A and B are shown apart, each in its own frame.
Chain A
Amino acid sequence: MFSEGDVTAIFLTLRLATTVTLILLVLGAPLAWWLARTNSRLKGPIGAFVALPLVLPPTVLGFYLLLTLGPNGPIGQVTQSLGLGTLAFSYSGLVIGSVLYSLPFVVQPLQNSFEAIGDRPLEVAATLGASPIDRYFSIAIPMAKPGFFTAAVLGFAHTVGEFGVVLMIGGNIPGETRVISVQIYDHVEALAYDEANRLALLMIVFSFLVLLSVYGLRKKSQRQILRFGS
């Protein structure tokens, strides 16, 4: 049904999305936790920075990444001096770009979930002898489960759907940066509408199932949010 090129693109996309989602969950949770609980003046600016990819055209992000990771950019120069070449037009560069681009989709649901917990469960845990880190792992994370689910699903789906950033920084290299969205683009450019259609339909079905899982389970997670008060 799918050509070898298509299959490569599919597996690459899945690999990229999984990696990016895992990175974002591990790094994004502490960030979301800080944003949820801090009273510092930095909260506004950092929150706005996290939300930037929501409004920026992807090509803007891709462009600046290209500059930064490229041979003349600050990070590019570091990687070159380490003998790693440049991250632009590489899978690793794509991972970095995707992490930045999908950041708000993971951090914001986590932040909401953490905020919904409120102060009380954490105060209780403190009186029972739990240190701040203990409270984060034994209370905050379990109670934010709905948020983790939403964050993972949205982060994954959003990464799968990227195009603009991928094109700018990825370079359309088969097996390395040619993900599904780019593959579809290539098919259309080559007037191979049937192939494009097959991949596109696959994307629609996938996206619909993702949204169904998030919206369908939303009622359950709302009930869970109500439980935080008991």
Chain B
Amino acid sequence: MTADSNTINIAIQHRLNNSRAQTFCLDVNLQLPGKGITAIFGESGSGKTTLLRCLAGLEKMLNGEIHVKGLVWQSGLEIKPVHERRVGYVFQESSLFSHLNVEQNIGYGVKRSPVMLSKPNYEKIIELMGLYSLLERFPEKLSGGERQRVAIARALLIEPDILLMDEPLASLDGRRKQEIMPYLESMHEKLDVPIIYVTHSIDEVARLADHLVVLQEGTVMAEGPLGEVLANTDLPIKLGEDTGVVFEATVAERDDDWNLLRAEFLGGELWVRDGGDSLDQSIRIRVLARDVSLALNAHTDTSIINRLRGRIEKIHEDEDRAMLLVRLVVGEVKLLARVSRRSAHQLAIKIGDEVWAQIKGVAILR
């Protein structure tokens, strides 16, 4: 395994006895990018948390390789102990130290840092997580969302080589999740540290991830850039109503009369609701398969604004027996459309055909 200074290499074969007295085997061999957010997605019990804990060194693996941006955290039997790794870990339940206040909590790692940390960085992260007004408080007096923000700041302040987040939003209710999302998104924008984000929510994956690893029963089912993996119709994990693609586009035009934006990508454009983004800004767009229908000819006598011409690349069975999943290539973007088998038969569509994709709903993620 090459120790590349800009990737995270993980090779683990770990047998674990879980609480149901079954043996569970985690078997992964991954090369992840050394920057951006890599999401690890899977159902409960798929091994995502175990993978993260092995990465951090919280699980003793007998044999494995973990190389983080050129640093060897484990090589075979040589294991670097947890407290010597510069790893930031955010747990599902914030796990703040109850006997310390916020300022002392976030300072805990800073005090023990082997290198001098920068003061401006300290200020920047406190600001990023909005903690100025909370510094004197104790954890029991904080809301769930506030606790998670403190936990995230605490992990970031040690300037870790990698930030590991284990379903950080899972213990929060809907409102708190919405509260924290912007913080996570701006973290992604403003910080350099590579993040590995474990979740079972495809929404969080769509909003935050650049790279996606799909885990099932301890094995990697799919891995790659987000857009590619989501457009993969072969995913053994069924996403149901959440099946859809995610891609980036640039704001090319604003139409103030109709409150719309035109977002361009290589191969097409989409009109979306004006959410306040400025020109030339990059936005992330999500199109669900259920919002895409197919037509052989262009229809202008419809309320559907967006129409893209694409070529059918793949037709796949859907989990719903009445439907099919069709993948189209539109320039550099792939779309998934869920159509009924009957319609597909009537339209006589096949691989290679050029068709029109009518897109009823487009979600701007950020």
Contacts and interface: CB of A to CB of B under 8 A. Distances in A.
Nearest to A141: B99
Contact of B95 (A124, A129, A130, A134): A124
Contact of A129 (B94, B112, B140): B112
Given A120-B91, A124-B91, A128-B158, A227 B83 contact: no
A143 interface: yes
A75 B93 CA distance: 52
A14 interface: no
Contacts of A132: 83
B114 A124 contact: no
Interface in A107-138: 120-121, 123-132, 134, 138
Interface of A: 120-121, 123-132, 134, 138-139, 142-143, 145, 224, 227-230
Nearest to B151: A124
A120 to B, nearest CB: 5
A130 B97 contact: no
Given A127-B89, A130-B83, A131-B83, A143 B98 contact: yes
Given A123-B82, A124-B95, A129-B158, 18 more contacts: A120-B95, A121-B98, A123-B58, A125-B83, A126-B58, A127-B58, A128-B83, A128-B109, A128-B158, A129-B109, A129-B112, A129-B113, A130-B108, A130-B112, A132-B83, A143-B98, A224-B98, A230-B139
Interface string B353-366: 00000000000000
B44 to A, nearest CB: 19
Leading 7 A-B pairs by shortest Cβ distance:
A128-B109, A129-B112, A126-B82, A227-B98, A127-B89, A142-B99, A126-B83
B311 interface: no
B6 to A, nearest CB: 23
Nearest to B89: A127
B99 A143 contact: yes
Contacts of A228: 98
A41 to B, nearest CB: 18
Given A121-B95, A128-B109, A129-B109, A230 B140 contact: yes
Contacts of B158: 128-129
A4 to B, nearest CB: 46
- Among A129, A132, A227, residue most surrounded by chain B Cβ atoms (within 10 Å): A129
Interface residues of B, number: 30
Q: Is the interface of A mostly helix, strand, loop or mixed?
A: helix
B87 interface: yes
Interface string B139-166: 1100000010000001100100000000
8 contacts: A124-B95, A125-B97, A127-B56, A127-B88, A143-B98, A143-B99, A230-B93, A230-B147
Nearest to A121: B97
B357 to A, nearest CB: 46
Contacts of B154: 128
Interface string B44-69: 00000000000010100000000000
A139 B83 contact: no
Contacts of B114: 129
Nearest to A144: B99
